[in-house]
Structure 1
């Protein structure tokens, strides 16, 4: 019988057989994509099987394998662990929590802190501050210092894994129906079109990992709620929106605190003497109305951890979750609601 072809012919002929490509050769394929084509190398990518079909000399093939092995790696990922909580402000903190002062009182001088103030019409004062806390012990002491004179309520403890340079989203809240318009169908029947608008907390995070292990976080934080004190067109709800965008540089495993989104809720309370306050004409003498105003500040603790599945002994998901489990214990120790 015929001698079977060699995979790597020592003569330098094309691997996998066939003829050398000429400058005018153009591979025809409906599903494959030509990655590279020249006089000595032809590479066709098959997306369906995630594979490469290569025609080259043995020497070029070995060089290609080296290049492919460097490119064919699992992308770096970042697991972002978050603690989202809310503070009910009192007389001492009516303008918001001074994070730098809290850190100083807890003997936790922040590594870096920046504060900016913006005022948004009809939303009251909106102040955004960010600070860095190095290590879980500092997070514990800072939260402990806040809870001494404030009512702290834990809202969520989500975890999110995001590929490098990709955007991840955390959304906590509800969707509110809003009338988007009306349409006239067959027979003159009017149909109301309803759209749903998300409310609550929206957190968008895009991590960018540097070579030295530093994580650049592009963060967009949105806080929205329904304004019960007013009504919009066609009795649609009116929404209060607070949005902040920032970029921070964080070391791997370092905590960052985002705070400053303050909400003010006013509730009208009707109280009075039972039965007497319902007597027509004189009921107002036995009842009164009182406005109850409550101010709350939202703060978020973020901790990014780089996940490198290509490195031996690299950080794995289970390791990160075990280390961040401390956040749950902190709030339980603080007796937060």
Structure 2
């Protein structure tokens, strides 16, 4: 065997070995992927989680859980259902942090974002206000309502319904026809002494109403609405309120009888139209000057400020979704008091005698609310004497007499709220003069 044959044998063996290794590699490449052993790698823990309110999501963890904690329980709630599973329940819109610990006390944080399911929210709100056009959007934990609705009742229902999905409601709804309340007001001053003679007493307390006419005059108690809550032990002579039903004959008969005897003095009878939720005020009286001294030591100057007095009434009606009217009434009666006047730098400034009362009541459309109990007592002195003889000192007392008269009056305010709405342009009736076409003017008539 020579050298060439030895080299040829070594090369041949290398080729065979190379071919065998190549075939082995090709065979391995043909093995399916699932046949290869899977490496034992740990899953990365979740760092964020999103869900809707009133929705639950299962959170899987890569290790056994020892304990959990939630930063804001009012936003989301958590419950461990297995060693490696946590159930997160969304409660209200917002963001909170969930922390869970492993057996080795290693903490892991998860950012939990609870959103608002706008599709379900709009679907439910559409059931509350069918046929209305509005949009529902979300901004963080707030729900935004936009669009135009028919009236305030629908607007109130949508806002109240949206509060079930978010704590913060941004109400950008517009109302096509603004609801308004017409307040028919009658402010009168009645002779309390004469009213008692006729048997009327505002402090009459019935089972479900206040105000009435005493039995001696054969009048029935003044009716009221049983929905009005009782005032309990808070009833005083300072303020008495009651509700009357439209068309009560007893009250009308009493007022007519009192007016025939001159016991009623009408002070004001205005009609106010107030938008829903807005405030309305009016004043019947005047203004008196108050002198104010200003200036430094050695020099002085005066300025005049005018103060109002008289009968002042303030109202704020609010229409409930069922069409009833909640009315807040504040009344004030003030008059000049020269007995307690103050003299300042030679100026006599009168004091003010003021009577105030506030009340809030819920009425139906057309019911009448009567506010009374603001009393005023005036004592007058009347001297009757025989001319000349009554002026004689000492003996003159035998020829004259003195009589003191107590005049007691009571302020009574009757308010009747009624729901009104403004007319559209096409609903406004045409005046007869508007249907007349203007006659054409001849050029010869122009000077």
Whether TM-score is above 0.5 comes out as yes
Aligned to 1:199: 309
1:249-274 CA distance string (max 9 Å, x none): 01111111111111111223344333
The aligned residue for residue 242 of structure 1 is 355
CA drift at 1:285: 5.9
Map of 1:168 onto structure 2: 280
Runs (5+) with no aligned partner, structure 1: 1-65, 119-125, 317-337
Distance 1:257 1:313 in 2: 38
**Structural mapping, 1:41-190, within 5 Å:** 67-68=147-148, 71=174, 73-90=176-193, 93=196, 97-98=202-203, 100-102=211-213, 105-106=219-220, 108-112=222-226, 116-118=234-236, 126-135=237-246, 137-138=247-248, 140-148=249-257, 151-179=263-291, 181-184=292-295, 188=299, 190=300
- In structure 2, how many angstroms separate the alpha carbons of the residues matched to 1:286 and 1:263? 33
Q: For the residues of structure 2 that align with 1:152 and 1:298, how far apart are their CA atoms?
A: 10
Q: TM-score, normalised by structure 2?
A: 0.46
Taking the aligned partners of 1:193 and 1:289, their CA distance within structure 2 comes to: 45
Is the CA contact (8 Å cut-off) linking 2:148 and 2:176 kept in structure 1? no
- Number of equivalenced pairs: 240
Decide whether aligned partners of structure 1 residues 97 and 107 sit closer, same or farther in structure 2, where only a CA change above 3 A counts.
Answer: closer
1:111 CA drift (Å): 1.8
Note if contact 2:193-2:409 (Cα within 8 Å) is conserved in structure 1.
Answer: no
CA contact (8 A) 1:97 1:260 kept: yes
Q: Distance in 1 between matches of 2:242 and 2:309?
A: 26
**Which is worse superposed, 79-88 or 68-77?**
68-77
Q: 1:215 aligns with which of 308, 325, 346?
A: 325
Confirm or deny: 8 A CA contact 2:336 2:352 kept in the other structure: yes
* DSSP-derived class of the 2:322 partner: coil
Q: Distance in 1 between matches of 2:149 and 2:370?
A: 39
The alignment's C-alpha RMSD in Å is 3.7
Aligned position for 2:413: 300
Q: Please tell me whether the aligned partners of residues 176 and 196 of structure 1 are also in contact (alpha carbons under 8 angstroms).
A: yes
Residue 236 of structure 1 deviates from its aligned partner by 2.3
Query: What SS does structure 1 have at the residue aligned with 2:185?
Result: strand
Q: CA deviation at 1:309?
A: 2.7
Structure number with larger C-alpha Rg? 2
Give 1:240 deviation, angstroms: 1.6
How many angstroms apart in 2 are the aligned matches of 1:83 and 1:194?
A: 33
State how far apart, in whole Å, the 2-side matches of 1:183 and 1:215 are: 48
C-alpha separation in 2, matches of 1:270 and 1:191: 46
Structure 1 residue 278: Cα displacement: 5.2
Describe the SS at the equivalent of 2:193: coil
> Could you list the per-position Cα deviations for residues 296-319 of structure 1 after superposition, in whole angstroms to 9, with x for gaps in the alignment?
1111111111122378999x9xxx
Q: Which digits, 9 at most, give the CA deviation of each residue in 1:45-96, with x for residues without a partner?
A: xxxxxxxxxxxxxxxxxxxxx9257625242111100111121022773995
SS at match of 1:143: helix
Q: How has the CA–CA distance of structure 1 residues 239 and 270 changed in structure 2, closer, same or farther, with 3 Å as cutoff?
A: farther
Q: Which moved more, 1:194-203 or 1:292-301?
A: 194-203
1:102-132 CA-to-partner distances (Å, cap 9, x unmatched) read 29824642225656444xxxxxxx4311111
Higher mean C-alpha displacement, 145-154 vs 241-250: 145-154
1:72/1:166 Cα in 2 relative to 1: closer, same or farther (>3 Å)?
closer
- Unaligned runs of 5+ residues in structure 2 are 1-145, 151-173, 205-210, 430-447
Structure 1-normalised TM-score?
A: 0.60
